[in-house]
Amino acid sequence: MTTEMPPSSPLTVCLVSDDAIPAMTGVGTHIQLIAREMVARGHRVVLVTTRRAGQPEIEDWEGVRIHRVPSVRVFGFYQGLPSKRRIRDILTEEGVDLVHHHYASLMMKRVLAVAARLGLPQVSTHHFSAEVLTQPLVMRPMRGIIRAQMVAYSNRCDVVIVPSSSLSERLRADGVTVPLRHISNPVGFGDPAAVSPAQRNGAFVVLYAGRLGPEKNIGLLLRAFRRLREAVPDARLWIAGRGPTGPSLEALAGELGIRDQVDFLGFLDPAMLATRYRSCDLFVLPSVEEAQPLVVLEAMWFSKPVIVTRAIAAAREMVEPGVTGQIVDPADPSDLAERMIAFAQDDTGRLQMGAAGRERAAHYTPAAIVGELLELYLDVCRQRGRPTGAASGVFE
């Protein structure tokens, strides 16, 4: 039964994520974009995230109130371990209207319990699958257990947001029974023309950006790039990011005889990454496990054609073959190499696909995505019979 609620103050939304500010993953970037847009619309955003050495417990970032909680580092990622009392104090003292989870973690489990006792509406966004979270070999025996936990966490929420509609079937098959809502990730770079290009040292430059982990399948890209070099001798590969497979990837590049033509750039902040997007000719994401990768939207925003693998859940939602890019076999370096060679040899087609991608990416601005999120928040709050900020800018 739905209860009509009277107009009140703007919403106070609590975002819960182990990664946020600074952003080490696409989830952190996602949170920064939506938080900034919500604040611009007059809503209050409270962020509960991890605390690292030298960081204060409480701080403000662009109008967002950040509460950092005790954390431990596991396989390179910080995991929040707040006490339930600390969570309760944050939610009550900040006057939170709704909780939005972004990581299936121990912190999510604890916040779920406390927020439920307080009667707060809760939603979560499905950013990662159990396969991604259990990439380390020692974690793989626990994949089934972690998947079951993720399903249990999801079913304690009012709604689960999926950035790719193709994920809905997978979640239903896994056992998620609560309502699902498809809301895409946002892309938040400004005018590409205002970005200074990075220095190029190749006639044809391929870019990869993201974590260096097993699920990213970067070995496929390196092997395909070696074949590209045979057809385009002055081609160059930029790899932006860091992660556990970095050293082995550098070693593989050496074994393939392409180490001098591959630039391992390390972690790049958004401004530096923008210069690489601006300057490359082609973006490639060879992952074997992704939902809706933000980096693909970012590359399209910069009018770059993209190549993704069909293993990516949102591949066909994001990339239209022959229009905005190409989709390849995640296990076949020859397939990827042939597509890269075709792009290198067709300047006109490459530019046309880049322009089509830019047009598509324009639909994923933070303003558009936050508009959908706030509408969902309002619906959930109304269904729970809680006051909302409907008259205070939810739809502005």
Residue 143 has pLDDT above 80, yes or no: no
pTM metric for this prediction: 0.84
Q: Can you give the pLDDT at residue 7?
A: 40
Q: Answer yes or no: are the C-beta atoms of 186 and 369 closer than 8 Å.
A: yes
203 against 201, higher pLDDT: 203
At the topology level, CATH places domain 12-186+365-383 in Rossmann fold (3.40.50)
Q: Answer yes or no: are the C-beta atoms of 186 and 366 closer than 8 Å.
A: yes
Q: How confident is the model at residue 394 (pLDDT cuts 50, 70, 90)?
A: very low
Q: How confident is the model at residue 132 (pLDDT cuts 50, 70, 90)?
A: low
Q: Can you give the pLDDT at residue 139?
A: 61
Q: Can you give the pLDDT at residue 320?
A: 94
Q: Can you give the pLDDT at residue 56?
A: 96
Q: How confident is the model at residue 215 (pLDDT cuts 50, 70, 90)?
A: confident
**N- to C-terminal Cα separation, the chain:** 27
Q: How confident is the model at residue 189 (pLDDT cuts 50, 70, 90)?
A: confident
Q: Can you give the pLDDT at residue 387?
A: 65
Q: Can you give the pLDDT at residue 109?
A: 95
Residue 1 has pLDDT above 50, yes or no: no
Residue 135 has pLDDT above 80, yes or no: no
Most confident stretch, 78-82, 189-193, 201-205: 78-82
Q: What average pLDDT does range 325-333 have in this prediction?
A: 97
Q: What average pLDDT does range 290-305 have in this prediction?
A: 90
Pick the CATH number of 192-363 from 2.60.40.10, 3.40.50.2000, 3.50.50.60, 3.40.50.720: 3.40.50.2000
Task: Name the DSSP letter for residue 176.
Answer: -
| Cβ burial 383-393 (10 Å sphere, 16+ → b, else e) | ebebebbbeee
Q: How confident is the model at residue 292 (pLDDT cuts 50, 70, 90)?
A: confident
Q: Answer yes or no: are the C-beta atoms of 223 and 333 closer than 8 Å.
A: yes
Residue 76 has pLDDT above 80, yes or no: no
Sheet of strand 98-101: strand arrangement: 58-61, 64-69, 44-50, 12-16, 98-101, 122-125, 159-162, 180-182
188 against 265, higher pLDDT: 265
293 against 151, higher pLDDT: 151
Q: Can you give the pLDDT at residue 5?
A: 39
Contacts of 226 (CB under 8 A, 6+ apart): 256, 257, 258
Which residues of the chain form CATH 3.40.50.2000?
Answer: 12-186+365-383, 192-363
Strand ranges (E), the chain: 12-16, 44-50, 58-61, 64-69, 71-74, 77-80, 98-101, 122-125, 159-162, 180-182, 204-209, 235-240, 262-266, 282-285, 306-309, 325-328
